[in-house]
Structure 1
Amino acid sequence: MTISQLPLSYCTNVHIGRSIAEVNQGLDEITCHVRDQFQHPLAAGLWLAQPVIQELNATDGAVQQFVEGMQNRGLTCHSLNAFPFGDFHSERVKENVYLPDWSQPERLEYTVACADVLAKLLPNGVAGSISTVPLGFKGFQHPETFLDECLDQLLEFARQMDLLYERTGKIVRLAIEPEPFCLVETTAEAVEFFQRLWDRADTTLIGEAARQHLGLCYDVCHQAVEFEDIPCSIQALDKAGIRINKLHISCAIQLDAPAENEEGRRALAAYVEPRYLHQTMALTSSGQVLHHIDLNRELALEPAPDFLAAQQWRVHFHVPVDAEMLGPLKTTRDELRQALAAVSQLDYAPHLEVETYTWEVLPDMAQQPRTPNRLIDGLVRELVGTRELIQAVS
């Protein structure tokens, strides 16, 4: 059995981080206090937005100063989240989080720049991972050349990571993160895409570099929302030779028997909010999965007959991973248990990172003043609960 021996991390995209100063403020006011209360080694799963990366590279010595700041705090980092390119805490993020997509040079340039910073942050002998968008959003229009452009840019990233390894001796792997309503969404789509990627890589004679540096970020919430069998999903990816470079430890909202559970649907309506996209799926008695692009009050309170008659709904809303229940609503924590057990059977150890970025917009948090202590307490509970799940499968 294999499970990561690196310190558990949580993703700092839960903090505002539009500048180096704001990133450092989050580390000082939140991350260090979480580490102290967790009372176990903790890594920072850093989100460094494009403006932060740009600021780090604008001044000689800024990256080294940032690295030294992490060391002085006693924090390590082995993974970055480079999915959100810009301000992840603006009033409305929604589908804009998928821009720029992987056909656009800005996405490649930003991700390579992230890799350069991560290589300096990595402890010796530790490989790094960077999670990123699953090519693009299905709701946008794309030219016929879109997929080929994505493939070319991803292979260029692999080439750049080969050069980075030659310069630094550090391995940095990309982790493409399937997500509902994106161009890589389901396990089957991921397998199909990576087969095409490997074929293109072999044709251009960089197959080894591509397999070394390109893989997946498996976000458990996302695949649970798709109603996938989590162990079978992870086994299928492994069989296809697709490396899971990072496991996002996350839970979705689950509503059972929506037609009979009016209390649950009213509770779900409280999770409607304007910042993030909350793709909603419904499982019918025939096994069909119905899709709705974003949770709204009409869907929760007055759903269409086919949605209402479904056996179960799941909503892409990252909720605290230590919670089994949210009042009358359930969470997909059982799928999280299954995911941790499944990755423990792999012959390598993906990075493990808690990613509940929605604390600010959770109904009970949004209705009260935001204080660091409330966030710290919540993150600590998540980390403690996650550690218990990991110990159960180790």
Structure 2
Amino acid sequence: MPLSTLPLSYCTNVHPGRTVAEVEEGLDRYTVGVAKAFGKPLAAGLWLAKPVVDELLSTAQGVTNFAAGLARRGLTCHTLNAFPFGDFHSTRVKEKVYLPDWSTRDRLTYTEQCAAILAELLPAGVDGSISTLPLGFKGFVHPADFAEQCATMLVAAAVSLADLKRRTGRMIRLAIEPEPFCVLETTEEAIAFFRQLWREADRLSAEPAVREHVGLCYDVCHQAVEFEDIAGSIRQFQSAGVRLNKIHLSCALQLDDPATNTAGRAELKRYVEERYLHQTMASLPGGKVARFVDLCEQLIDLPDADFLAAPAWRVHFHVPVDADRLGPLATTRPQLKEAIAAVASLDYAPHLEVETYTWQVLPGQTKPDLVTGLARELSATAELLSRR
């Protein structure tokens, strides 16, 4: 099966978007220029925060006018990122990005609203996808039945998406995105939850809707940070019957030989920043992984024995996907190549999206302007897709 033939997209969560006007400003200021520099058809992988969704739905013509604006700019849209609910560009986002979680009615309603908008944005004959958070954050206190509560809400989301398809003819699939230190982070945890979800769906006589409309967003950076075998992980999901509805083409930071790589550890300090959470993990003998919830100078200067002795650290810091190295630091670009090859062997074509939302907090004065950087990422990704 060939990889998706839809236009490649990048996720616009890299741009501030707290109002419709701000979203459109980002499209004009950046996305149109990226499309021109890329030189190929480009889809906008839109992030529409809850205030933007409310604004679009506040008038009868809100979504229609927004869709017309996309068309005027020569852009299409077949996927939304509904993971960040609120302001993704505030001074400190960190763990707040995981709220509201999937046990809440607010998360369900927001997702249903995103689906209604996407149904109007989709090109004719094209299916849609919406990526969403992996239930919640492990660092928060959850009730014992938290997973069951989330499963109930996700069944309701699937039923809503099935109803949307009946009413509009638009197929939209939800894509749960595992992430380090979240309730669903490893391949095994995600598969176990999907089995629980299917049991709950069967109990509620909604299993066909859930299997059709709820699957996974596979973020390559996230699973690489977990030191998972990327190709093996994708095969596990395929074998378990979990559909990969969306692939985030992304790379993480890697520090090799931390005990002796003083230049690399010094460089890593430049990636300590206050906006986003940068979960950090270290590979240990026997396949074990040491874990730290956020990159900080204390971890770099005074790592515990396991971290210091590990052959490599990986950091959940999305870095440009065209970079094999960033000075003395490596990236997980080899794992990205493995992911593309594995996805190409599936018997369906997930949506493909470059997601490097960290351009504004990347260190260094010599990084390219945002339009150039995004276009380079897309061009390098298109080349990898053509060579797989």
Q: Same fold (TM over 0.5)?
A: yes
What is residue 305 of structure 1 aligned with on the other side? 305
1:334 aligns with: 334
Q: Is the 8 A contact 1:2 1:343 kept in 2?
A: no
- Per-residue CA distance 1:96-134 (angstroms, 9 max, x = gap): 000000001100000000000000000111110000000
CA shift for structure 1 position 304 = 1.6
- 1:20 is aligned to 20
Q: Which residue of 2 aligns with 1:165?
A: 165
Q: Identify which of 380, 383, 387 aligns with 1:388.
A: 383
1:379 aligns with 2:371: no
Give the residue type in structure 1 aligned to 2:384: L
**What is the root-mean-square deviation in Å for CA atoms of aligned residues?**
1.0
Residue 48 (1) aligns with residue 43 (2): no
Correspondence 1:29-108 to 2 at 5 A: 29-108=29-108
Gaps of 5+ in 2: none
Matched residue SS, 2:287: coil
CA deviation after TM superposition for structure 1 residue 302, in Å: 2.2
Q: Distance in 1 between matches of 2:119 and 2:308?
A: 49
Distance 1:118 1:265 in 2: 43
Whole-angstrom distance in 1 between the partners of 2:79 and 2:40: 18
For 2:127 and 2:149, the matched residues in 1 are separated by 27
Which SS does the other structure have where 1:31 is aligned? helix
Matched residue SS, 1:129: strand
Return the alpha-carbon distance in structure 1 between the equivalents of residues 286 and 38 of structure 2.
44
Rounded to whole Å, the distance in 2 between the matches of 1:78 and 1:269 is: 37
TM-score, normalization by structure 2: 0.99
Q: Within 2, Cα distance between the matches of 1:301 and 1:356? A: 27
- In the alignment, is residue 183 of structure 1 matched against residue 178 of structure 2? no
**What residue is the counterpart of 2:194 in the other structure?**
194
Preserved CA contact (<8 Å) 1:177 1:219? yes
| AA at the equivalent of 1:206 | A
The answer as to 2:345 corresponding to 1:345 is yes
Shift of 1:250: 0.3
* CA positional deviation for 1:56: 0.7
User: What code does the residue aligned with 1:208 have?
Assistant: P
The AA in structure 2 aligned to 1:391 is: S
> What letter corresponds to residue 178 of structure 1 in structure 2?
P
SS for the counterpart of 2:221 is helix
Matched, 1:206 2:206: yes
% identity of equivalent residues: 60
Aligned partner of 1:299: which letter?
Answer: L
Deviation at 1:287, TM superposition (A): 2.4
Q: Distance in 2 between matches of 1:300 and 1:243?
A: 38
> Which residue of structure 1 aligns with residue 240 of structure 2?
240
CA contact under 8 A between 1:48 and 1:82: conserved in structure 2?
A: yes
Matched letter for residue 314 of structure 2: R
Describe the superposition over 1:342-377 as per-residue Cα deviations: whole angstroms up to 9, x where unpaired: 000000000000000000000015x99xxxx70000
**Equivalent residue letter for 1:243:** R
1:175–1:217 Cα contact (<8 Å) kept:
yes
Say which is worse superposed, 137-146 or 337-346, in terms of deviation.
Answer: 137-146
Residue 257 (structure 2) aligns with = 257
